[in-house]
Structures are given as C-alpha cells and as structure tokens.
C-alpha cells in the first residue's frame, strides 16, 4: 500500500503526524478533520481523502481518536525510537544541527560529526560530540551503523560527500548544500537561499 503514496501525500502525512503530536501534548483526545484542516491550513476533504489511503480511522460526526491516528500514521511513516545520523561539515549549519535539541527529542540522534579542516577536528561542538577527520567517515558509518547522512559542506563538495555516504551504506541523505546531488538513496534538500528566493518572489508578486 505505502508504495503507491504520492510524494505530496507523504509530506502531508508528516504534517498530520506532527500536528497530532502537538494535540497529544495539549491533552486533546478526539479531533475532527475540520479542526485538523484549520490547524494545517488544508481542506478537510483533502485530509479525509489522504487518510482514506490507509483505511478508515475516523467516525463520521465524531472525529478521529488522536492517539490511535497518531500511532497508525507513525507506523505508516516508519517512525521508530531512534535513527542514527552523521553530519558531514562542522561549519555553522553542521554545528547548529548537532545542537538542535528538537531532532533528538523526535528520535534523530547525531552519532558523529566530520570535517576536513584541521582547525575543527578534535573540537567538541555539541555535548559529547567531537569533530572527527572526514577520512574516517566510512569506517565510522559502518561501525556505528549510521543510517542517515547530513550534508553541511560547501556546494562544490556535496556530490563527492554524498557518493561516499552512499558507498558505505547510508540509507538516506539530508542535504543542506545549495546544489542538487545525484545518488540512488533518497535525498531531502533544505535550501535556505532557495526558500528566501521563493519568499521574495511572493513578496514582489503581491506588491505588483
């Protein structure tokens, strides 16, 4: 079933999951598709349709049991206790990621951070996390069983790092470098400058 889910649906599933997480924190037990729609700025009909991919979770006129739906979507998403991440690049972005507590809370644990700059290697950049020489990357990934690689190196090094990560068995890549990388494992890109370009385009468009 999960094989057929289109990308926009999987992105929305993630947003439902995160919204339900907040609802649980707020002590909410039952939620309607209308309330979810309001919180997520989507149409209720869209939400009902998406969730119908996975069978019926809601009761008409009553709503969805928050915890049940949360667990069901979590299972679909393959949420597990812990994913092990390595960060390549100990510059500003790499260090920020290494210190980003929210990730840890959500089950994404940084097990190693790497750089090729001798002035950075050996420095502790987050509690318990000392920058290692990137020449040690492959051995470390294999020994630690790291699953996700975070690329936080300059654009012209990103493809090379991605290929090294792929070869040593990394299952997926989160790429902060402002460049498209080509590997056979899944990649998610976070491009801050691109987001700013989309934002300013929207600003200019509204002012016209």
Residue list for the binding site for NAD(+)? 89-94
Q: Does 28 bind a second copy (CB under 8 A)?
A: no
Stretch that binds a second copy, among 46-54, 59-67, 132-140, 175-183 (CB under 8 A): 175-183
Q: Does 151 bind a second copy (CB under 8 A)?
A: no
Q: Does 40 bind a second copy (CB under 8 A)?
A: yes
Q: Does 197 bind a second copy (CB under 8 A)?
A: yes
Q: Does 24 bind a second copy (CB under 8 A)?
A: no
Q: Does 18 bind a second copy (CB under 8 A)?
A: yes
Q: Does 147 bind a second copy (CB under 8 A)?
A: yes
Q: Does 110 bind a second copy (CB under 8 A)?
A: no
Total residues interacting with a second copy, rule: CB under 8 A: 63
Residues near 42 by beta carbon (within 8 Å), at least 6 away in sequence: 12, 36
Q: Does 96 bind a second copy (CB under 8 A)?
A: yes
Q: Does 16 bind a second copy (CB under 8 A)?
A: no
Q: Does 62 bind a second copy (CB under 8 A)?
A: no
* Range 140-169 burial, b when 16+ CB lie within 10 A, else e: bbeeeebbbbbbbbeeebbbebbebbbebe
Taking the CA atoms of the chain, what radius of gyration do you get in angstroms?
20
Residues near 84 by beta carbon (within 8 Å), at least 6 away in sequence: 109, 111, 144, 145, 146, 147, 148
Among residues 37, 103, 168, 183, the one that binds a second copy under rule CB under 8 A = 103
Q: Which parts of this chain interact with a second copy (CB under 8 A)? A: 2-3, 5, 10-11, 13-15, 17-18, 22, 39-41, 76-79, 83, 92-93, 95-97, 99-100, 102-103, 106, 108, 147-148, 155, 171-174, 178-180, 182, 185-188, 190, 192-208
């Amino acid at each position: 079933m999960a094989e057929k889910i289109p990308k926009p649906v999987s992105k929305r599933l993630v947003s439902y999951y995160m919204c339900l997480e907040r609802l649980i924190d707020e002590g909410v037990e039952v939620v309607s598709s209308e309330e979810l729609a309001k919180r997520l700025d989507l149409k209720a009909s869209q939400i009902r349709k998406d969730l119908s991919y996975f069978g019926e979770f809601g009761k008409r006129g009553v709503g969805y049991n928050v915890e049940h739906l949360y667990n069901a979507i979590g299972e679909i998403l393959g949420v597990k206790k812990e994913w092990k991440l390595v960060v390549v690049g100990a510059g500003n972005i790499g260090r920020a990621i290494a210190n980003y507590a929210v990730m840890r809370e959500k089950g994404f644990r940084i097990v190693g951070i790497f750089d090729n700059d001798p002035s950075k290697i050996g420095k502790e950049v987050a509690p318990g996390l000392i920058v290692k020489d990137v020449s040690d990357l492959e051995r470390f990934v294999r020994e630690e069983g790291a699953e996700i690689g975070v690329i936080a190196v300059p654009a012209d090094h990103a493809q090379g790092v991605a290929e090294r990560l792929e070869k040593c068995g990394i299952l997926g890549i989160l790429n902060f470098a402002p460049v498209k990388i080509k590997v056979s494992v899944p990649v998610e890109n976070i491009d801050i400058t691109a987001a700013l370009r989309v934002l300013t385009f929207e600003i200019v468009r509204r002012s016209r």
